[in-house]
Amino acid sequence: MKKTAISMTVLAALGSGAAVQAETPSQPNVVILFADDLGYADVGYHNSSQDVETPNMDRLAASGAALTAGYVTAPVCGPSRAGLTSGRYQQRFGFHNNTGPFVREEGIVQGTPDEMLNNNFGYYFQQAGYVTGMVGKHHDGKQRKFWPHHRGFDEFYGFNNGAANYFVGPQNQETAAKKPFSVMYRNDKVDDNFDEYLTDRFGTEAISFIERHKDSPFFLYVPFNGVHGPLQATEEDLKRYEHIEDEKRRKLLAMNYNVDRNIGRILDTLEENDLTENTIVFFLSDNGGKPKGNASYNLPLRAQKGTLWDGGIRIPFAVSWPGTIPAGQTIEDPIISLDILPTMAAAANIDVQAEWNLDGVNLLPLLTGEEKELENRFLYWNTSMAGAIRDNDWKLVMPNIRNKRPRVQLFNISNDISESKDLAKEHPEQVKRLQEAWDAWDAQNEDAMWGWNRNMFPVETNWRNLDSL
């Protein structure tokens, strides 16, 4: 992994004529805006959907770099977040899938393993002197030890589950006992003092965090649960899209517009407090959209959430740091969410420790123009049922790795974004090369610790149905 201090990045960028500040603060603020189930086509700057309006997502991308070949490490929520927050392929510690009814063996507690609880970006930045905050959806184990405020975040506001009702309403302890997954918590305490559409609430809480900590370096992670189901939007936002005939799509567009508006509120707060040029902002989705579920679109990509074709794992991805990262860039190099942690560590002059075992690379030299392209590398995926691997030009998809003779599909992904032409028979040498690389990577991983289907585990596995324990 490349390690480039931001001071060296700035000097190199100045020498190459890139537009940067003469002096870059040693500890810029960091904000990660993380959407949920947002399709590749459902941001305006991808120019794929005519009905979508995302002026603030577009504004963020235009102020820095749109990463058009940006990926996450999994096609579903939980493992994708485990990869993002740890900076490691989550298969390294057995987090292949969302929590489910089956565990690999009796006694396994579903959630990030104990030895990994402090291996996350909140803890690393907290140890580096940052005030750390998380607002939104956490999706890890149910026990309190997994919650963010026990794992490096000074402040947590949100919920710990895969989804929540958007019209939560005033809460109390009785409601918390009856509907724990639709209750908002401030650290360990139930928040019973608001009546606000949930995405707006998360925007309000994020703004509060920025304004309270504007005089200190802060790290803010905002995983919205929009546009994940249930499809619930405000009357005001629905009215904006009353011309859309399809009811699901109308609700999705309204919810998406609300997420965008709250991203705008956060960006405006940074600007109003003169923090824009001292804050690096990342924006991405946790996985692709699900057209038959939440009516989010992935065009021109193939397939959807839950699959390892690009519709499940290639997502809207952008980064902005005005004054350091030149505006108006479109970068087509394959990028993955694992790259965020080493990139923001370099920006903050935080030395990456060997024991972090990060799997991503520092993108700052690419983003500032010091380097013209990334070195060719492999990106990997494994869901226990399917696998995939990509380099700059080629992608191998294995939709059924549990079979004794798994089927494979090969695509020249740099020329065929829709994965429409299977070239496996025409290029067996590429199939062999990619399969061997994937096998070598997977041999270093932990077997899946849990899953929703017992067939996810090897035949010899002593799997257990939690319902029977």
Query: Is the pLDDT assigned to residue 3 strictly greater than 60?
Result: no
Average of per-residue pLDDT across 364-392 = 97
For residue 82, which of 51, 58, 113, 124 has the smallest C-alpha distance? Answer: 113
pLDDT range class, residue 143, cuts 50, 70, 90: confident
Q: How far apart are the first and last CA of the chain?
A: 43
Is pLDDT at 17 greater than 70 in this prediction?
A: no
| Residue 449 confidence (pLDDT) | 93
pLDDT for position 168 = 79
For the segment 232-260, what is each residue's pLDDT rounded down to a tens digit?
999 999 999 999 999 999 999 999 999 99
Tokens of 425: 């028979």
What's residue 455's pLDDT?
81
pLDDT tens-digit map of 312-336:
999 999 999 999 999 999 999 999 9
Residue 226: CB atoms within 10 Å: 27
pLDDT for res 316: 98
Question: How many residues belong to the chain?
Answer: 469
- Residue 458: is its pLDDT beyond 90? no
| Whether pLDDT at 304 is above 60 | yes
At residue 172 the predicted structure's pLDDT band, cuts being 50, 70 and 90, is low
Residue 2's pLDDT is what? 34
Residue 6 tokens read as 């931001």
Give the containing element (helix H, strand E) for 319: strand 317-320
> Helix 247-272 to helix 198-212 angle, to the nearest 10 degrees?
10
Does pTM top 0.95 for this prediction? Answer: no
Radius of gyration of the CA atoms of the chain, in A? 21
- Give per-residue pLDDT as tens, 34-62: 999 999 999 999 998 999 999 999 999 99
Greater pLDDT, 120 or 7: 120
Q: Which residue shows structure tokens 């500890």?
A: 27
Q: In the predicted model, what is the mean pLDDT of residues 17-21?
A: 40
Q: Which residue has the higher pLDDT, 160 or 261?
A: 261
Does 305 have pLDDT greater than 50? Answer: yes
Asked if residue 171 has pLDDT above 80, the reply is no
What would the mean pLDDT of 111-124 be, rounded to a whole number? Answer: 92
**Longest Cα separation, the chain:** 65
- Lowest mean per-residue pLDDT among 121-125, 268-272, 450-454: 450-454
Contacts for 296 with CB less than 8 Å, ≥ 6 apart: 37, 38, 39, 41, 42, 227, 252, 256, 288, 289, 290
Helix, strand or coil, per DSSP, at residue 465: strand
Strand-pair category, 387-390 with 379-382: antiparallel
Selection from 323, 239, 241 nearest residue 280 by Cα: 323
CB 350 within 8 A of CB 395: no
Between 456 and 300, where is the model more confident?
300
Pair 81, 140: CB distance under 8 Å = yes
Kindly tell me if the per-residue pLDDT of 161 is higher than 90. no
Q: Which of 395, 418, 454, 190 is nearest to 300 (CA)?
A: 418
Which of the four pLDDT bands, split at 50, 70 and 90, describes residue 4? very low
pLDDT at res. 15: 38
Q: State yes or no: pLDDT of 231 exceeds 60.
A: yes
What is the model's pLDDT at position 20? 42
Residue written as tokens 């949920």? 36
Given a cut of 70, is residue 16 above it in pLDDT?
Answer: no
Please state, rounded to an integer, the average pLDDT across all residues of the chain: 91
pLDDT cut 70: percent of the chain above it: 90
Beta strands in 86-184 (DSSP E): 102-103, 131-138, 155-160
Question: What pLDDT is attached to residue 100?
Answer: 84
Structure tokens at 20: 């940067």
Asked if the model's pLDDT at residue 19 lies above 80, the reply is no
**pLDDT mean over 259-283:** 98
